[in-house]
Amino acid sequence: MKSLLTTANVALVIGLVSQLLFSSRIVLQWIQSERAKRVLVPTLFWQISLVSSFLMIVYGILRHDPVILGAQLISYAIYIRNLQLLREWGKLSPWFRAGAYAFPVAMLGWFVAGNQHFSLRTMLGTEIPGGLLLLGAVGQVIFLLRFVYQWIYSERKGESTLPLSFWVISLVGSVLILTYAIMRRDAVLVIGNVFGTVVYARNMVLLRRELRGMPAVVVQNAASETEAIS
């Protein structure tokens, strides 16, 4: 039994659960979009994203992977903001909201303090090849930019929405992260990004069809908003 409870195995289980949740949110969004014949993003998408992101923060800590950890910390904040824009954050249990703020902070504090299983000092001393680290960092930066872009776009519109550019950036970032994951032999990232690339491409197709079916004036206004953000 002791041999099974290694840090690597625990990290693998947490990572797989996280990716299962991430995949379930994409499936949920995909099914609803296919039924509506246009891209829809339900509130549950952001709620699942938040829980999944916290698990990935823990996974990044256990893996001593700065690329994963840094990306998920930023994503976590953006997921909360989207729930606020949807006016759903205040509807959640006060205990859940308090935990959503406290747990990541407590986990990071524990990480900085360090123990025999994980520590900031160990992560800083991890010998990931520079080129590979750069690839992963670029992939994660691009992947994060999709939510930064979406965040700015949503703030200007005053509602949470996912424009076509979001899915394009998602696809590019996912391919780069998938390459990084394969080279790092990270099964968790591989599983998550293989499925994600298919869904991102499909959402691009659905959204392009939706835009083609919109009146010319509406399409022109949507294009103008995208150019203004760019």
> What are 27-85's pLDDT values in tens digits?
887 788 778 777 677 788 888 999 999 999 999 999 888 888 888 888 899 889 889 98
Residue bearing the bigger pLDDT, 95 or 198? 95
pLDDT for residue 165: 82
CB atoms near residue 116 (< 10 Å): 7
**Pairwise CA distance, residues 105 & 98, whole Å:** 11
pLDDT for residue 219: 41
The CA distances from residue 79 to 61, 99, 120, 136, 139, in Å, are 20, 15, 25, 22, 19
Residue bearing the bigger pLDDT, 15 or 214? 15
For the record, the structure tokens of 124 come out as 């800083």
- Band of pLDDT at residue 220, cut at 50, 70 and 90: very low
Q: Residue ranges of the domains in the chain?
A: 7-229
In this model, does residue 186 exceed pLDDT 50?
yes
pTM confidence score: 0.70
pLDDT for residue 4: 60
In this model, does residue 117 exceed pLDDT 90?
no
pLDDT for residue 149: 83
- Which among 213, 229, 103, 219 is positioned nearest to 154, based on CA atoms? 229
> End-to-end alpha-carbon separation of the chain, Å?
54
Mean pLDDT rounded to a whole number for the chain: 81
The CA distances from residue 14 to 4, 96, 171, in Å, are 14, 20, 24
- Band of pLDDT at residue 223, cut at 50, 70 and 90: very low
- Band of pLDDT at residue 214, cut at 50, 70 and 90: low
Q: For 39, which DSSP code?
A: -
